[in-house]
Structure formats: structure tokens, C-alpha cells
């Protein structure tokens, strides 16, 4: 299937890789199908691209590259919506707010994106705990995370 990406132009995607957000993403509830794309020459960051809206794409990253101690409890309702039974089937990402210079960019630890990788289901969850910021600074990853 061909789609147009905000960052990569027209590309071919495998339809089996389409990730469905049953409730959409907060602020974009009508858009429910996305695909995870590699950001060329930068394995730490990805593009979460809407399948239906070329202009809607988010730069995302694995928060554990920057915050190894990042933890949260997923509400049972979210686990049910995503059909999560095994923690190993889950990938966690955070949306990046890209700033200039890039070193001033931030990640949203307050609202992680939880993806059930086997079911291709996802949800952006807004954490009720006050431990994390929606504008957490990006720091250099620790050496043990670079090999991930």
C-alpha cells in the first residue's frame, strides 16, 4: 500500500504493520491508523505516521534511552483495550517535541504511547501520577542503551 509521509514523501508500507489506535490519539480522535517508520540515519527516533492524513506525523522515541528508571502502572482498562496479557508484547514510546537547537527538544513522559506489538493495537495513555513531565529534557543515552 502506498501512503504519503510528512517526512519521507510517498512510500510503500506493509498493511500488516498498520497500528490501530481504537480511540485515536488525544486531540486527533478521528485518526486511528498509523504506521511506525524508521527515521533515516537516526535509529533512536521513529516517525509515527497517520496512514490516512499525510500531514499528521509524530517523531517518537523509546523513553528508556533517556530515562532508564521510567516506570508506570498501566490502568486495567488500557490493558483490556490493548489485549495485553504479557509485558513482553508491549513497546513504549514517547512523543518528541522537536526544538531548535535539537538539544532543547523534549519528550512527553506524562503521556506515553503503549503499543501491543503482536496485535498492532496502541493507546496514548495520560498518566495520573505527577512523577513525570510532558516536557522532559532529552539527555544523551547511557552506553548500555546505545546497543539496544
Domains recognised in the chain with CATH numbers: 2-141 (2.30.290.10)
Q: β-pairing, 90-97 with 113-116?
A: antiparallel
Collapsed DSSP state (helix, strand, coil) of residue 70: coil
Q: Answer for the pair 114, 90: CB distance below 8 angstroms, yes or no.
A: yes
pTM, rounded to two decimals: 0.89
Handedness of CA 16, 117, 81, 44 (dihedral sign): negative
Q: Is the pLDDT of residue 146 over 50?
A: no
CB neighbours of 98 closer than 8 A, spacing ≥ 6? 59, 105
- The secondary structure of 45-57 as a DSSP string is EEEEEESS-TT-E
Q: Identify the band that residue 140 occupies on the pLDDT scale cut at 50, 70 and 90.
A: low
Q: Identify the band that residue 142 occupies on the pLDDT scale cut at 50, 70 and 90.
A: very low
Q: What average pLDDT does the segment 33-61 reach?
A: 95
Amino acid at each position: 500500500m502506498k501512503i504519503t509521509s510528512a517526512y519521507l514523501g510517498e512510500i510503500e508500507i506493509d498493511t500488516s504493520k498498520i497500528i490501530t489506535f481504537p480511540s485515536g490519539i488525544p486531540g486527533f480522535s478521528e485518526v486511528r491508523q498509523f504506521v511506525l517508520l524508521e527515521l533515516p540515519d537516526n535509529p533512536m527516533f521513529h516517525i509515527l505516521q497517520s496512514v490516512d492524513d499525510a500531514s499528521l506525523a509524530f517523531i517518537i522515541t523509546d523513553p528508556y534511552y533517556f530515562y532508564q528508571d521510567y516506570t508506570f502502572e498501566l490502568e486495567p482498562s488500557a490493558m483490556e483495550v490493548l489485549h495485553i496479557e504479557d509485558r513482553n508484547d508491549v513497546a513504549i514510546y514517547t512523543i518528541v517535541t522537536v526544538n531548535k537547537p535539537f538539544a532543547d527538544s523534549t519528550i512527553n513522559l506524562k503521556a506515553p504511547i503503549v503499543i501491543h506489538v503482536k496485535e498492532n493495537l496502541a493507546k496514548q495513555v495520560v498518566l495520573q501520577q505527577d512523577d513525570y513531565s510532558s516536557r522532559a529534557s532529552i539527555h544523551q543515552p547511557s552506553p548500555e542503551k546505545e546497543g539496544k
